[in-house]
Structures are given as C-alpha cells and as structure tokens.
Amino acid sequence: MATPFQFTKQFASHLGGIRNPMVVTWPNRIKDHGALRSQFHHVIDIAPTLYEAAGVPFPRIIDGVAQRPLDGVSFLYSFTDPAAPSPHTTQYFEIAGTRGLFHDGWMASTYHNKIPWQPGPSQPFDQDRWELYNLNEDFSQAVDLAAAEPDKLREMKELFLVEAARNQVFPLDDRGPARVVGARPTIVGDRTSFGFRAGSIRMPEDIVRATFNRSYSITADTEIPAKGAEGVVVAAGGYFAGFSLYVQQGKPKFTYNYFGSKYTTLEGKQTLAPGKTVLRYEFAYDGGGLGKGGMARLYANDALVAEGRIEATVPLGFTADETLDVGIDTGTPAADTYEGAFPFTGKIGTVTFNLK
C-alpha cells in the first residue's frame, strides 16, 4: 500500500501515487549490498543509467531518423557515492488532471478535488487548491505549507506550467474512462472486418478491443485431422479477463472470462468430424451502454451447437499485458477449462473478426 504517503494509484499529485521503491543489483560494482539510497530520481532516469553502465552513447540518429533528446539523468553515481546530491532537481507529474511538481526538495500538489476513477464533471482547473510541502523536512507530506509560504507556492505553480508546456501535457484532460473509449487511434482503425492466419501470436490486445460494447462474430477455417483435434483456435486476454475459442476432447467450445470472477462456457455436444470445419462464434450485444451483456452462439459448419447468455462484458480492456493469439494461448490462460498454452493440433486457415 501507499502508507505513510498520501493518496494512491492514479494520483500524480502526492507521493502515494508516484513514489516507488527500486531495487538494483550489480555485484561487481555495488559493494555495500542491502544499503539504501535517498536521492530523488524518476523512471525517465533508468535509460540514461543503463547507457552509462553499458558504456555506450545514446544514439542520436537511428536508420537515418533523428531521435528526440533523451530525457532524464543517470543515477549510476549513487552506486558508489551514497551521499552525492542528485542532479535530477525538477520533475512534473500529471494524470487525468491530478498534478504535482518536485523542485529542489519541495513538492507542490493538487488532486483536482476529484477522485480520478469517479465519473461525472469536476470543477475548473483554475479553481484547484494547491498544497505545498518541504520534503527535506517532511518526507510524507504531513504539513501543508501553502498558507505559510505563498511566494514559494506561486513559484512552484509557475514552474509546473513551464514543465508541463515543455512536455506536451496541455490541454489537461480529466474525463476519466471517456479518454479511452473511442478517443484515441487504434490498430483496427475504421475496419469492420479483419483476419489472421495461424502463427499470429502475441498481437496487441488493442486489436480485439474493437469488439467491445458491440455485436461481432469470429469465424475460423480449420481442418480437423483423422485422430481429432485439441487446443486453442484463437484467444485474447488471460486470467484476469478474456475469451477463448477452442476444441477440447474433440468438441468445440467458447469461454468468456469476465474479470476472472465469472466464466461462461458454450460447449458443443458432438465431437467434430475429421475434415474441413468452419467454427463461428456470434455475440449479439444488448446495447444500452458500456459493459452490457448479450446472447452468445457457437456454430460448427453453420449448425448451431451451443448458445447462452453472457450477462456482463468487459467494457474497456481485458488486461494490461496479455495479447491476441491464433492457434495457441500465450501468457496466462483466458479460459478456466485448460492449463498452459494449449496449442491447436489441427490446421488453421484464417480467423476473421466481423464487427456488427
């Protein structure tokens, strides 16, 4: 948890949302094993540190393309000099309108008077109340000095504007979930149909998010060998949420995983016969908002083999780090009926998604 710091995840304003421990091991270079370092640094300092540790310069041109200057500074010095001052003296923070600025041991903070994950409007940004803390004397932001140090707070707020403008933070956006629903470019773009072949694995989950909050179908051209087939035809997401179209004990199945708390599985009753087989999953969305349910149907060669309701669907994203895979389920399994990657033992021609 964030104790003893104020606030938590998604609050870029206070240390509870931005301060993290980091563990570094380098036996040939760091001799005081288990020792602590207290210099201020930021995640942008990791890359410069690795470049210096490796003894190579940051490439200014790659394949003829000029690179943007590398942000951050190296903290390699701290491995051998625990008392050395940090060269990283200024850092802005911002997430969904919550803002903070670190400068020379001081911290200015405003959480925009709104919990980031709560829907609904918030007050104008210029009405936010800023707090001020001297981290040199008050490491956990316990004493707000805004009223006692108005000139210092004004200086910090003005410096935030400078740093935010330099790093393309503006315009500030506090819309929360609306920022991710249809607000950014996707790999799918405006396509209503897209397909993949066997061997397409570890593809970004962003692709399958085009099916969220709407009706869609998945059609897979497969070939079942004489001895039958087993395994995943196509899967997305993983243990925490996702779906999988697969064959198990010779029967077609589809599992929808709602946040790891409820698995809905459609299962065909008949074993698939050898030969070319078209598996199709259709989902008819109820509509009426995000994350609603709908009717799910599973077909084999146009014959309905199973159907049932999915009462609720994941509205924004299955996971942060799982993927879309054809012919296998990499990462954690999206269904609760099999373990491991569960590769498909038949042949797969194409797997096509159609958005309705």
Q: For the domain that residue 150 is a member of, what is the CATH number?
A: 3.30.1120.10
Choose one of 119, 149, 178: the last residue of a domain.
Answer: 178
Share of the chain above pLDDT 70, in %: 96
- β-strands 231-238, 241-248: how paired? antiparallel
Domain boundary among 178, 206, 240: 178
Span 189-204, mean pLDDT?
A: 95
Q: What is the per-residue burial (b if ≥16 Cβ within 10 Å, else e) of 190-203?
A: eeeebbbebebbeb
Same domain, 117 and 236: no
pLDDT on residue 340: 96
- Integer Cα distance of 167 and 165 in angstroms: 5
Q: With the C-alpha atoms ordered 86, 88, 90, 95, is the resulting torsion angle positive or negative?
A: negative
- 136 and 205 both lie in a single domain: no
> 230 and 332: one domain?
yes
CATH code for position 318: 2.60.120.200
Residues 157 and 32 placed together within one structural domain of the fold: yes
- Put residue 342 in one of left, alpha, beta given phi > 0 → left and psi -120 to 50 → alpha: left
Tens of pLDDT, residue by residue over 87-125, are 999 999 999 899 999 999 999 999 887 777 666 667 899
Number of domains in the chain: 2
The residues with which 276 forms a beta bridge, in sequence order, are: 223
Is 184 a residue whose pLDDT tops 70? no
Identify whether 77 is part of a domain. no
Residues 217 and 147 in one domain: no
In a domain? residue 111: yes
- Asked whether residue 136 falls in the same domain as residue 34, the answer is yes
pLDDT tens sequence across 288-328: 999 999 999 999 999 999 999 999 999 989 998 999 999 99
Instruction: Check whether 182 has a pLDDT greater than 70.
Output: no
Average pLDDT on 47-73 reads 95
- Ranges 34-43, 184-193, 266-275, 320-329: which has the least confidence: 184-193
Closest CA to 351 of 228, 167, 251, 211: 211
C-alpha dihedral sign at 288, 180, 330, 197? positive
Mean pLDDT of 161-179: 88
Encoded tokens for 63? 């394949």
Residue 215: give the domain boundaries. Answer: 193-355
Q: Helices (DSSP H) in 88-149: which residue ranges?
A: none
Out of 147, 178, 209, pick the residue that ends a domain: 178
Give 177's contacts (C-beta < 8 A, 6+ positions apart): 119, 290, 315, 316
Q: Give SS3 for 345.
A: coil
* Residue 224 and residue 331 share a domain: yes
Q: How far apart are CA 9 and CA 100, in angstroms?
A: 14
Full-model pTM: 0.66
pLDDT the model gives residue 113: 76
Position 60 in a domain: no
180 falls in which pLDDT band (50, 70, 90)?
low
- The CA-based diameter of the chain, rounded to the nearest angstrom, is 82
Hey, which residues does 194 pair with through a beta bridge?
Answer: 353
Between CA 27 and CA 155 the distance in angstroms is 43
Q: What is the DSSP string of 268-293?
A: -SSPPPSEEEEEEEEEEE--SSTT--
> Count of residues for the chain?
356
